[in-house]
Amino acid sequence: MTKIIQKVNAVKMEPPRKRKVAAYARISIEKGRTPHSLSAQISYYSKLIQGNADWEYAGVYADKAVSGLTTDRPEFQRMLSDARDGKIDIILTKSISRFARNTVDLLETVRELKDLGIEVRFQKEKIHTLSEDGELMLSLLASFAQEESRSISENVKWGIRKNFQKGIGNSFHIYGYRWTGKEFVIVEEEAKIVRLIYDNFLNGISAEKTEKQLEEMGVKSYTGGHFGNNSIRQILKQERYTGNTLFQKTYIEDGKTKYNNGELPQYYARNTHPAIISEETFNKVQEIRQRKRELGAFANPHIKTSALTSKIKCKHCNRSFQRSTRNTKSGKLRSWICATRKAGQGNPCGTGDINEEQLKKIICEVLDIDEFDDEIFLEKVDHIDVTGKDHLEFFMADGSVIHRTYVSTARKDAWTPEYKERYKRIKRSKDTNGLKNPATPYTGFIRCARCGNSFSGQRRTLKDGTTEYYLRCRTKISECPSNTIQESTLNALVCDVLGLDEYSEEAMDKAMDYCEIADNTVSFHFRDGHFEERHYEEKKRGTPWSKERRKKALKGMKEYWSDPEHRKEASERMKKIRKEKKWSSQ
């Protein structure tokens, strides 16, 4: 029996890859958790992950005081971004309610992570999303979590509203005060600024001027940033500076904060904290603000108003249209724009610009008058509602409503014969046409001495490979015939007039304004007012005709003119040319 020995190479076993594990934590605004609770969660998960030899620590993502009903959570979104980048294999979280309380958002997020091969482990419910029954259990429990969140939210709202009835608020951040945990105390440095803001307003100083004053004084806002005019306006309508508090000015519905316009009861509590200004001062400011609101633009003497001011309303946002004036080449263009759009807030209303002159024509048509009259308009029209880009509703003083469609012809109307002529002069001049890359150095420099039109350039590549620009009058040849010049010829003439050895566009533009060409004569007009003329003769370039080519061309012409139809077409064409041609009186 023969012994067989075979060498076997040992295979080096690679250690299993450590799985990258992260955790997500959140403290809720509904349950009033403290920051200490969040720190405890972060510490717990950090120790748990780092204590497992098979895991690689990928971090803890923690959101503070945000609702689980929305996915708009900074740390939550950062975690999802890292997961998409392959930085996470497993996500640990305490419970479904910590991860998300909206069933739809929860399932969408978990399914996306599942498609990426990332597992989410809910410790309280003992669910692993990559298991077979993971999603079914998750759907059931998420529905309960969503309902629980809604129940907790309603309980919290009920408690807050009960406190409102007792004169206890839930807002503890206000400029000029600090909350000690039991009561508000005045911060005198900030209180001085509040009094200054109210005094300025009563003295007719605008919020914008007060903003500049505070900036020069080095005064910062409650958060330490710039003290803007919007913050100043908020202070001017804040009743809490009188020592009293109006509760439930806003409320939350479907996760959105809304102003309370009678949907819920409000509670006015007196003497809830020390006052910074008197009620008399506050009420006086509110009266002035209300009067200015009613007057609109007329309340500001610095704003130029007209009969149309505050009369044109946007039906979508209920704000007035504002006048906009633009300086154009044809003069001032006045139009009316929705205040929302003019403020740079996009165009959610879907309205467009309304040309003032065209609007006045429509008003004249509605009022059956020949010319727009301020007094008649103010007497007969209450206001105009604008819907979309083209629909106008005239609400008349007698209660009737008249509908009109607005079609803009402002661009067409602007092109008057005078403006067209002016525009032509601008484009014909090299100094004013504004061309960055003209076809030739002579674009806008040459004028036809016969008709006054400009010249255009046509490039031709000759048989020897050289390129030549032919400059010719833009008018039809039948009206202004044989008015052409080669660029090289004109270059030579410019050098001769200016005494240059080599053509220079810069030297030409510096010395000359323009040139006129007609009948093989160039008249150079200098910037100092004088002009000089030069005559030129050009030899036609081309390949001489051979005998064979002449013979072939002659044969083709005989065949063409032997056709009666061709002769008839040529006759009609010549009759038309003779009819249109401007014959001289000589």
Looking up residue 134, the CATH number of its domain turns out to be: 3.40.50.1390
Specify whether 520 is located in the same domain as 491. yes
Mean pLDDT per 10-residue segment, the chain (586 residues):
63 70 78 62 89 90 69 84 91 81 73 86 81 64 57 57 57 78 84 90 87 89 84 86 77 68 73 86 87 66 74 87 79 84 81 87 90 88 88 90 83 73 71 69 87 84 79 85 86 92 90 90 91 86 76 87 86 81 53
Q: Identify whether 518 is part of a domain.
A: yes
Calculate Rg over the CA atoms of the chain: 42
Q: What is the dihedral of CA 271, 276, 279, 281, to 10 degrees?
A: 180
In terms of C-beta density within 10 A (0-12 exposed, 13-18 middle, 19 or more buried), how is residue 436 classed? exposed
Q: Return the SS3 of 403.
A: strand
Q: Can you give the length of the chain in residues?
A: 586
Q: Identify whether 29 is part of a domain.
A: yes
Q: Identify whether 307 is part of a domain.
A: no
Q: Identify whether 436 is part of a domain.
A: yes
**Single-letter amino acid code for the residue at 265:** P
320 secondary structure, DSSP code: B
Out of 241, 265, 296, a domain closes at: 296
The total number of structural domains that make up the chain: 4
Out of 296, 330, 346, a domain closes at: 296
Specify whether 138 is located in the same domain as 203. no
Specify whether 455 is located in the same domain as 374. no
Specify whether 228 is located in the same domain as 357. no
Q: Return the SS3 of 91.
A: strand
Beta-bridged to residue 256, according to DSSP, are 253
Specify whether 376 is located in the same domain as 406. yes
Q: Identify whether 14 is part of a domain.
A: no
Backbone angles phi, psi at 71, to 5 degrees: -95, 0
Give the strand pairing for 521-526 and 512-518: antiparallel
> Given 3-state DSSP classes, what are the helix, strand and coil percentages for the chain, each rounded to the nearest 5?
40, 20, 40
CA distance 462 to 446: 24
Output the six-digit token pair for 552: 């072939």
429 torsion bin: left (phi>0), alpha (psi -120 to 50), beta (else): beta
Specify whether 111 is located in the same domain as 212. no
Q: Identify whether 585 is part of a domain.
A: no
543 secondary structure, DSSP code: P
CA distance 131 to 566: 89
Specify whether 323 is located in the same domain as 211. no
Specify whether 247 is located in the same domain as 349. no
> What separation, in Å, do the N-terminal and C-terminal C-alpha atoms of the chain show?
136
Q: Identify whether 57 is part of a domain.
A: yes
266 secondary structure, DSSP code: -
Out of 351, 381, 414, a domain closes at: 414
CA 138 from centre of chain: 43
CA distance 168 to 179: 13
CA distance 488 to 470: 9
Beta-bridged to residue 322, according to DSSP, are 337
In terms of C-beta density within 10 A (0-12 exposed, 13-18 middle, 19 or more buried), how is residue 96 classed? buried
Nearest to 346 by CA among 316, 376, 366, 369: 316
Beta-bridged to residue 191, according to DSSP, are none
Give the CATH number for residue 278. 3.90.1750.20
CA distance 397 to 384: 11
CA distance 179 to 181: 6
Which spans in 329-368 are helix H? 339-342, 356-367
Specify whether 320 is located in the same domain as 287. no
Contact (Cβ atoms closer than 8 angstroms) between residue 249 and residue 267:
no
Nearest to 374 by CA among 314, 308, 433, 430: 308
Which spans in 372-438 are helix H? 374-380, 410-414, 417-428
Q: Return the SS3 of 128.
A: strand
Domain holding 244, by residue range, is: 177-296
Specify whether 225 is located in the same domain as 272. yes
Sequence-distant (≥ 6) Cβ neighbours of residue 14 within 8 angstroms: none
Specify whether 144 is located in the same domain as 222. no
pTM of the model: 0.41
SS (H, E, C) 230-258: HHHHHHHCCHHHHCCEEECCEEEECCEEE
Q: Identify whether 342 is part of a domain.
A: yes
CA distance 79 to 74: 9
Specify whether 404 is located in the same domain as 446. no
Q: What is the dihedral of CA 552, 557, 559, 564, to 10 degrees?
A: 170
